[in-house]
Each structure stands twice: as C-alpha cells, then as structure tokens.
Amino acid sequence: MADLYINVDEAKLKDDASSSLLHYGSAFYSDIITHAKGIYIYTTSGRRLLDWTSGQMSCLIGHGNPEIVDVITKHAASLDHLFSGMISPPVISLAKRLTGLTPPGLDKAFFLSTGGESNEAAIRLAKFYTGKYEIVGLSASWHGMGGGAVACQYHSGRSGYGPVIPGNYTLAAPNAYRSIFRHPDGTYDWRSELDYGFSLIDRQSTGSLAAVIVEPILSSAGMHPLPSGYLKALKSHCENRGMLLVIDEAQTAIGRAGDMFAFQYDGDGVVPDILTLSKTLGNGLPLSAVVTSDKIATFAKENGYTFYTTHINDPLPAAVGDKVLEIVVRDKLVERSRFLGTILHEELRRLQCRYGCIGDVRGRGLMAGVEIVKDPETKEPGMELGDRIGRKLGDLGLWAQLGTMQSFAGVFRIAPPITISEEELREGLIIMEEAFASTEGTLPRYAGRELTANAERPVRAKL
C-alpha cells in the first residue's frame, strides 16, 4: 500500500500542530512521521529511521505486519465493537490462547485498552480480594495515568497535582549500578535493600497492606532487570503479610525479554497473583489484559467485583492480540529474541569497552538500556551528552529514545521489534558505533582503531 501522506506539506503540518495540539509531557519529535513498515519509520522529508523503540515499546512484531493488517481489515468490516456485557469468538479465543501460555495460577483473563487501565483494574481487584487498601510500588516505577496507578508509581508526574489516593508506599527500585546497598566486596546487596524497605513499610502501614506492583524489568527507570531471586524474595514478603503480588509486563511480555513472560526468567516457579499485559500484546493497538487465578476470579465473580468500561473485551483488538500470540509461538519469536538479544548485549558491551561515557549496559533479550555518564568513575549522569548522541543517531538513521527524567539518569532504551533480522540489528549497531565515534565527549578508549589496554574487547560468544 502506498504511503497515505506522501505529498503532505510539512511546514503547514508543523504550523497546524503548533496552533492546535495540546502538549502532554513530552516534547514532540522534530520530524513528522508519515509511514511505518517493518522495523522502519519514515518522515515527511523521506528520511528512514530504524525504530529501536517499537513505537511506544509496543510494535512487537513490526509496523504494518501483513497478518495484523488482514485481521484488522476483516474485523473492522464484520466484528468491531459490542455492548460491554457481550462476548465474541476473538475474545474467547484470545483468553483461551493466553491462559494456555501462562503457568497454572494465571487461569482467567479479561481485556481492556491501555496498560494503565489494566493496572487500575489489577489494583482494584487486589484491594477487593484482600479487603485492604495499601499498595506498594518501586521508587522509579511507571504503571499508568489513572488515579490508582499514579498513586503507586514514582518515576515522575507526582508534583503539582495535589494529593494522591491514600495508602501508598515505596520500596527502593533495584539498581545494581547505583544502589548504595553493597556487600563488603562491592557487589549489589539487593536482599538487604529489600528487607530494609519492608521494615520501613511495616512501620508506616496501618495494617492494611493489599499488594505490591512491580515490573520484571523497570523500563521507565532505565531498563533495570530485577536481580535474580528478587521476585521469589518479594513473593515471600507478600505472603508473610497477606499481600498479593501484581506483575506489570506491559513492555516485557510475549518474548520481548527472551522469555514468554519475563517473570519466568529465574525458573524458580514464582507466579504472580495478578499479571497485567498491554503494549506488546496489541502490537501497537490499544489492548491490555488482566490475568489472575481461578481462586481470585471466583471470589471476584461471587462477590460482585466491578471494572466495567466501554471497551472491555472488544472483539477487534482481541482478534489482533490473538494473532500476535499465534505468530509469536508459530514463528518461535521468543527463542529468536533470546538469540538476537545475546548479540545485542554483547555488541553493546563491546561499545562500552570502547567509550568511557557508557556507564552501564543492562537488560535481557531484545530489551536493553545504555546509560550515559560524564565520568565512568563518578557516574555523574551525562544528559546533555546523551542528547547530542541521540541527535546524531537520528541524523544517521536510528531512532533510540534517551530518557532525560531524573529516574532515567540519561539512558537509551532499546527495544526493536522482535521480528528484526540479524542484519537489521547489526545495521543499527553500526550506526550506534558511528554516532559514538563522531560525537564529542564520548571518552573513546582507543587510539585509532586499537583499544587501550584497560578496555579489552570481549570475546564473541558462540550461539
């Protein structure tokens, strides 16, 4: 299909945007996007950019995926939207397919629009089931813009809006690179940090702790994976206090982080009481899910739990989600994400060896964070430097978002569609190398093409 906006007047569009669009917390990208296909996006001027954020971390299987386009076309024509109390074949099929992929204990699902909405529903369900109201979140978390989600997230957006819903507490967000909790040998002591955090919460709680909500990889915090064993320890803390564990996998699920669901990474059998999905499930369409146990679902049904919205269990987005899951399983994209993720992280660590401004590389699968610092010893955030590197990346044909809010500390968040080929992945890595090499202040650790002695290049693993 031809580009719908191939002959637009860019200057007029920018004037119209300036005069009519309300800003909502993010500066608009300088170019206007007119087309997206596969792993690329295109601007009014005809520039092509590798999309290394999958839109808003959502287009898991690529822009304009022909199978998704076909599903949308057919359902827009025959089964798009229904009364909220009605169910339809795509909704039932999606629920059956999804709960066939989740482990026992995640047995029943319903479907909403956004990730924030699914987290609102999960928080409301946790409060209803436990009969308690206090919610614990991580100090650099992001769970959405509704009242309940905003109250238990601490990444940004709390100042200037008045009081939030009462009964919310915070645990220190795990950060192996920057946390002050250290063992004598300097390694990260996350367990003491977690235990200490709960000791403070116990002192503040009124005795009504309902749930903890966490992401397996804290994306908005700067792509920090929870340490190995963290979820098991967290689940134990929850059980000891009669709390539920809610896991928000808006960005990490359906193969993005190298497992079907990122909470499965440790392989220790930890299962959340409630799982929320969004972004990757809809491949860019507004679709989210709340999944929970038969026990909680039965209690909710028998006692009148309510979360009734206009677009709950809508057939058209459900049909898209069902097709996304089908494609991911059929094409073995989870395994693909794990394999290509090994290459991505290996090459990013190689860049780290070559440029002192890369303070940390982290993440899993096709989900990575590259933290930019002014000085690798002091770890002072390099926001201005990161911004210049980001502009250079865009000039060279790669879109990779730099987070500049305080809890990001200047981190490039990388999450291309998991349908990316190895050649396309390496194309982006070559652009990254060129951007770092041609931007002043990146602290190169080599003379010419040779690495210095204190920055040896890692040996490439055999895959």
Q: What is the pLDDT, as a whole number, of residue 147? A: 80
pLDDT digits (tens, 9 = 90+) for 83-137: 999 999 999 999 999 999 999 999 999 999 999 999 999 999 999 999 999 999 9
48 beta partners:
42
Is residue 251 part of the annotated active site? The answer reads yes
Does the domain at 10-64+333-451 match CATH 3.40.50.2000? Answer given as: no
Measured CA to CA, the distance from residue 324 to residue 256 in angstroms comes to 12
Is residue 279 part of the annotated active site? The answer reads yes
Is residue 413 part of the annotated active site? The answer reads yes
Measured CA to CA, the distance from residue 253 to residue 202 in angstroms comes to 31
Annotated catalytic residue: which of 248, 259, 273, 371?
248
Of the CA atoms within 13 Å of residue 161, those in its CB half-sphere come to: 11
Listed as ranges, residues in the chain with pLDDT below 50 are: 1, 452-463
Annotated catalytic residue: which of 52, 142, 190, 399?
142
Torsion of CA 426, 428, 431, 435, to 10 degrees: -120
Annotated catalytic residue: which of 108, 354, 374, 413?
413
**How many Cβ atoms from other residues are within 10 Å of residue 92's Cβ?**
14
Measured CA to CA, the distance from residue 418 to residue 368 in angstroms comes to 13
Is residue 107 part of the annotated active site? The answer reads no
Annotated catalytic residue: which of 251, 264, 352, 401?
251
Measured CA to CA, the distance from residue 415 to residue 60 in angstroms comes to 9
- In this structure, what are the phi and psi dihedrals at residue 404, rounded to the nearest 5 degrees? -115, -5
Annotated catalytic residue: which of 193, 215, 259, 371?
215
**How many Cβ atoms from other residues are within 10 Å of residue 383's Cβ?**
20
Q: What is the pLDDT, as a whole number, of residue 304? A: 97
Strands of 398-399's sheet in order across: 33-37, 40-43, 48-51, 398-399
Instruction: For the chain, give every residue range classified as CATH 3.90.1150.10.
Output: 10-64+333-451
Does the domain at 68-330 match CATH 3.40.640.10? Answer given as: yes
Instruction: For the chain, give every residue range classified as CATH 3.40.640.10.
Output: 68-330
Is residue 215 part of the annotated active site? The answer reads yes
Annotated catalytic residue: which of 235, 241, 256, 279?
279
- The 8 Å CB, 24+ separation contacts for 69-75 are 71/319, 71/320, 71/323, 72/285, 72/316, 72/319, 72/320, 74/319, 75/315, 75/316, 75/319, 75/320
DSSP-derived secondary structure letter, 188: B
Say which residues have a Cβ less than 8 Å from residue 435's Cβ, sequence separation at least 6: 389, 392, 393, 396, 398
Torsion of CA 12, 14, 16, 17, to 10 degrees: 160
Q: What is the pLDDT, as a whole number, of residue 459? A: 36
Measured CA to CA, the distance from residue 155 to residue 190 in angstroms comes to 19
pLDDT digits (tens, 9 = 90+) for 306-361: 999 999 999 999 999 999 999 999 999 999 999 999 999 999 999 999 999 999 99
Question: pTM here?
Answer: 0.94
Q: What is the pLDDT, as a whole number, of residue 191? A: 98
* Contact indicator for 140, 218 with CB cutoff of 8 Å: yes
* Contact indicator for 344, 425 with CB cutoff of 8 Å: yes
